[in-house]
């Protein structure tokens, strides 16, 4: 095998580092050239203020990021003849024990921070600002937004974590 071919091709096909580089470049290119126009389009169509720190703006932005990661990972999975969930977040473990451990840990952190802010005077509660149907829709929208944030971050970190270990998206077909 020539030295140049050896640099790119290994026993499992394209070498791990090159596969990861292609994956990272695909994510970068989509984010660089499509993210802002797509989010602006979605926000305009859905009447969402992109600059607001609100559940709808987070759903639009992180929802787009999640779709990008899933599409790019899906293309890599198809190329490598693997399932998309073999890249670090298996679907059969969704909402399993680790998910609920994370929910409890996240709620504990928020509770301790809020308690600390209340005790030190950094936060005051003057009542509930929501009325009527907003008492139901607002928390549900925030739940969806935080799920999008969590899944997007977990999926991206799982894919990159796997890629550094040579498992995915940089490894050959699973047997």
Residue 172 lies in a domain: no
Residue 52 lies in a domain: yes
Query: Residue 114 sits in which domain range?
Result: 3-165
Residue 152 lies in a domain: yes
Residue 173 lies in a domain: no
pLDDT tens for residues 52-101? 889 999 999 988 988 888 888 888 888 878 888 877 778 888 888 888 88
Residue 140 lies in a domain: yes
- The pTM score is 0.71
Closest by CA to 30, choosing from 81, 63, 64, is 64
Residue 170 lies in a domain: no
Decide: residue 145, CB within 10 A, 0-12 exposed, 13-18 middle, 19+ buried: buried
Q: What is the pLDDT of residue 131?
A: 87
pLDDT at 171 over 90: no
Tell me the angle at which helices 134-165 and 55-80 cross, rounded to the nearest 10 degrees.
30
pLDDT tens for residues 103-146? 899 899 999 999 999 999 999 888 888 889 999 999 999 999 99
Q: What is the 3-state secondary structure (H, E, C) of 125-158?
A: CCCCCCCCCHHHHHHHHHHHHHHHHHHHHHHHHH
Structure tokens at 164: 């550094």
Task: Check residues 16 and 25 and name the one with the higher pLDDT.
Answer: 25
Q: How many residues does the chain have?
A: 175
Domain count, the chain: 1
pLDDT tens for residues 82-91? 888 877 778 8
Residue 128 lies in a domain: yes
Q: What is the pLDDT of residue 165?
A: 53
How does residue 160 score in pLDDT terms, banded at 50, 70 and 90?
low
């Amino acid at each position: 095998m020539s030295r140049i071919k050896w640099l790119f091709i290994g026993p499992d096909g394209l070498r791990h580092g090159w596969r990861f580089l292609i994956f990272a470049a695909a994510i970068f290119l989509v984010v660089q050239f499509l993210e802002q126009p797509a989010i602006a389009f979605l926000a305009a169509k859905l009447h969402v203020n992109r600059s607001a720190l609100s559940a709808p703006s987070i759903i639009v932005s992180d929802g787009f990021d999640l779709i990008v990661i899933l599409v790019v990972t899906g293309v890599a999975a198809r190329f490598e003849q693997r399932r998309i969930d073999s890249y670090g977040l298996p679907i059969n473990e969704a909402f399993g024990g680790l998910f609920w451990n994370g929910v409890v840990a996240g709620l504990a952190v928020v509770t301790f921070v809020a308690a600390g802010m209340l005790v030190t005077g950094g936060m005051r509660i003057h009542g509930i600002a929501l009325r009527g149907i907003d008492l139901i829709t607002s928390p549900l929208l925030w739940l969806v937004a935080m799920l999008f944030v969590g899944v997007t971050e977990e999926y991206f970190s799982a894919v990159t974590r796997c890629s550094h270990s040579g498992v995915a998206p940089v490894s050959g077909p699973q047997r």
